[in-house]
Structure 1
Amino acid sequence: MNLLVISGSAFPGSHTNAIAQIIESLVEQPENKVTVVDLCELDIPVFGQGKSDDVEELKRLTEEADAMMIGTPNYHTSYSGVLKNALDHLSINEFEMKPVALFCNSGGMRNSDPLTQLRMVMRGVHAMVIPTQASTCDSDFMKTAKGHVLKNEEIIERLSLMIDTLVKQADSEPVSI
């Protein structure tokens, strides 16, 4: 399976990116390939204001992925503008019937509202969003010299379940609509 993990935070070293890195470490390799894209590192112009090499690369990676995991910080009970802008550059061509899992991080308490909204967006591009999702909060992490480390074992188990579900979905016969 070729898994694309998108971290939708506007800041380097974010909790969202820490989750993306954990996902990468949980995926069995080399039989599965994982690519982590941290949107804050890319040059993605505001939708409608042109394209960039990074937009074309994101399109290519999304199209080639067998499954995706998309993460966002919780910004005012919604997903990030950086992620929204990146998704606006993509279309049904990249997502149709592709298995997708969602995760988010909130500063204070866990809140899955951003995932509810992302689920609607994914439905609009005909992705197959799995029912299991993960929502963390800052207290689930420990700060180290290397960055944020997820210490909540239940969430790590949930991420593993999400990966297993995506692998099964990616390996099943695709259905077209």
Structure 2
Amino acid sequence: MNLLILSGSAFPGSHTRSVAETIESLVGQPEHEVAHIDLRELNMPIFGQGKTDDTEYLKRLVEDADAVIIGTPNYHTSFSGILKNALDHLSIDEFEMKLVALYCNSGGMRNSDPLTQLRMVMRGVHAMVIPTQVCTCNEDFEKTETGYTLKNEALRERLSVMVDGLIKQSNSERVSI
């Protein structure tokens, strides 16, 4: 399985990135390939202002992935602008019938509003979002020299359930619309 993780935080060493790294460690089976893209590191012009090599690179990565996991911080009860811009550059061509899992981090308390909105966006590009999602908040993490580490074992287990479900679904026969 070819799994792609997209992190939509504007900040290095973010909580969103930490969750992505946790997911990478949970996959761990040699038959699964995992790529993690920190969207803040890509040169993505505002949608409608042209394309770059990174725009085409992201399209190829999403198209070639068997499944995509999308993570975002909670910005004013929505997902990040970096993620929105990246998704605007993508379409049904890359996402049709693609399995997707979602996670987010909120500052003070868990909030799934960004994921509700992402579900609608994913429906618009004909992706298939799995039911299990993960919402973290800042108290679930421990600060380290390089960023954050997820310390909440219950959420680590939920991430594991989400990843296992995504892998199981990807091994099922899919239909095309």
Report what 1:59 is aligned to.
59
State the alpha-carbon separation in 2 of the partners of residues 11 and 52 from structure 1. 22
State the alpha-carbon separation in 2 of the partners of residues 128 and 115 from structure 1. 14
Mark the runs of 5 or more structure 2 residues left unpaired by the alignment.
none
Give the length in aligned residue pairs: 177
1:95 and 2:95 aligned: yes
Report what 2:159 is aligned to.
159
For 1:10, give the aligned amino acid: A
For 2:15, give the aligned amino acid: H
Q: Deviations over 1:14-35 (max 9, x none)?
A: 1001100110010023110000
- The more displaced of 27-36 and 57-66 is 27-36
Contact 2:99–2:128 (Cα < 8 Å) also in 1: yes
* Residue pairs, 1:41-60, within 5 angstroms: 41-60=41-60
Q: Deviations over 1:38-64 (max 9, x none)?
A: 001110000000001111110000000
Moved over 2 A (4+): none
Report what 1:115 is aligned to.
115
Report what 2:149 is aligned to.
149
State the alpha-carbon separation in 1 of the partners of residues 48 and 29 from structure 2. 38
1:11 and 2:11 aligned: yes
For 2:140, give the aligned amino acid: D
Mark the runs of 5 or more structure 1 residues left unpaired by the alignment.
none
Contact 2:13–2:146 (Cα < 8 Å) also in 1: no
- The more displaced of 111-120 and 9-18 is 9-18
SS of 1:130's partner is strand
1:169 and 2:172 aligned: no
State the alpha-carbon separation in 2 of the partners of residues 144 and 75 from structure 1. 23
For 1:37, give the aligned amino acid: I
SS of 2:87's partner is helix
Report what 1:30 is aligned to.
30
| 1:144 shift after superposition | 1.3
For 2:134, give the aligned amino acid: A
State the alpha-carbon separation in 1 of the partners of residues 6 and 66 from structure 2. 14
Q: TM-score, normalised by structure 1?
A: 0.98
SS of 1:132's partner is strand
| 1:176 shift after superposition | 1.0
Q: TM-score, normalised by structure 2?
A: 0.98
SS of 2:71's partner is strand
Report what 2:128 is aligned to.
128
Report what 2:78 is aligned to.
78
Contact 2:12–2:147 (Cα < 8 Å) also in 1: no
